[in-house]
Amino acid sequence: MKILKTLAKKLLESKLLNFFGISIINFDLLKYTNHYKWIFKFNKIPNQTIVFNKAKKVQEKDIHLCERLIKAYGEATNDKLQTKDTSQLWETILRERYGKLVSVLESGNPKTLAVTLSSMFLESFVYGLFAGDLVKHSYSKIGKKIWSMKYQDNLLALAEYLGVVRTESPQQGKSAEALKEGVDQLVAKIESSVNTSMNFPDVGAPYGIKGNGSLITMEHPEHFYVALRIHQAVQLYLDGQSGNNLNIMEIGGGFGSLAHWIHKQGRIPINTYTIIDLPIVNVIQGYFLSQAFDPSQVRLYAENPEGKPIFQVFPTQAVDSWDTKIDVLINENSMPEMTNEIVENYLRFARKNVEGIFFSCNHEAYAPIYGTHQVLVPEIAARVSGLTRVSRNASWVRTGYVEETYEINQL
């Protein structure tokens, strides 16, 4: 059986099959489809064209930002300060995918870094954060159909959550009925419901489909949705602080998308929004948020800026000397990729520093990595006294993911 699985994997990875759009990436997109009945009515799903934004010409302000990013990265990777906060999974990803970005950072040339980051969403080093160069799997006829379907699947799941369209049933009724009015109408309904544009910021040469004039990437409808869910959790469990500006911390911040949408939606009053992540990922986050908003709104590691930036982008060791109250701790889709020890340390950190809630949105699959099952967040939370789970719900937009909210009683 193991030999057959290996042969099947090699077959799916073959260049000939990839040419025809039959690849592991495209097969995975089909598996991740929320509306799985669509797979059986493949030809009835409307085709959408993937639009590519061009990289912006590098300016002096971009070079200055990259000088800051290089300096912060150097401070964060100082051997005297680094801690062991990387799982074997991420060690492999960093080794196999992030070599180009590491080389550019170690060269110390801010202009080269600025050029590299200006098209970062087309690179392999955003793997695990954004589809990046995997978009090449959409170039064939069947690949285009699969990617087109998945873009619309993500949008419809968000619209169903908001109640602006009917929720499809796998047992009865028509499939993809809400798509008949077109993606423009679907996005318009979403944007009208939340009074926020879904247009992805023109940073890093992003790509996606267009709806109601907005660029919709494969990833950000999920982040847009999670931002709304966190707002609901704040309303329900931090009602006494509803008028206060909150200190938010996100453990593992992706490329900064969730932080972007929480701020962009304007539903949660923010004092500071701190991202804690690996130093190399901090570079991507710092660049994205600085370009999506303004560099003055982002504080990087070891900086003492004038004014009061909203965003703080720090490496993992920053929690060791943390001394500011946190109201909301967030983790979306990254704790299962850590080790049990790392996650437990973060939750013990929360027990000491969070005066509010911990919001988790993660999968719980039996999916061994290097012979070890990925982290189960509620299992680790149960080891840490003072964390009380007050809600547990299945995600509307990502099948197999669970959203949990924990109230935290400080020591």
> Cα separations (Å) of 248 from 148, 159, 301, 310?
35, 27, 17, 10
Residues 6+ apart with CB under 8 A from 176: 35, 38, 41, 44, 45, 46, 152, 156, 168
Confidence label for 306 from pLDDT (cuts 50, 70 and 90)? confident
pLDDT of residue 16: 46
The tens digit of pLDDT for each residue in 69-79 reads 999 999 999 85
Arithmetic mean of pLDDT over the chain: 91
- Does residue 93 surpass a pLDDT of 80? no
Kind of pairing, strands 326-332 and 354-363? Answer: parallel
pLDDT of residue 409: 85
Q: What is the Cα–Cα distance from 366 to 348, expressed in whole angstroms? A: 25
Average pLDDT of the residues in 52-70: 98
Q: Are 211 and 192 in contact (CB under 8 A)?
A: no
- Does residue 318 surpass a pLDDT of 80? yes
Weakest mean pLDDT among 96-100, 186-190, 357-361, 382-386: 96-100
The tens digit of pLDDT for each residue in 13-58 reads 555 445 556 788 999 999 999 999 999 888 889 999 999 999 999 9
Average pLDDT of the residues in 225-253: 91
- Does residue 83 surpass a pLDDT of 60? no
- Does residue 12 surpass a pLDDT of 90? no
The tens digit of pLDDT for each residue in 125-157 reads 998 899 999 999 999 999 999 999 999 999 999
Instruction: Using alpha carbons, select from 183, 259, 177 the residue that is nearest to residue 226.
Output: 259
Q: Where are the domains of the chain?
A: 2-53+131-218, 223-408
Confidence label for 364 from pLDDT (cuts 50, 70 and 90)? very high
The H or E element spanning position 394 is strand 387-394
User: If DSSP codes are grouped into helix, strand and coil, which group holds residue 331?
Assistant: strand
Average pLDDT of the residues in 183-189: 98
Q: Which fold has domain 223-408?
A: Rossmann fold (3.40.50)
Give the CA dihedral 153, 155, 156, 157, nearest 10 degrees: 80
Average pLDDT of the residues in 244-254: 95
Q: Are 220 and 189 in contact (CB under 8 A)?
A: no
Residues in the chain, overall count: 411
- Does residue 6 surpass a pLDDT of 90? no
In this prediction, what percent of the chain has a pLDDT beyond 90?
80
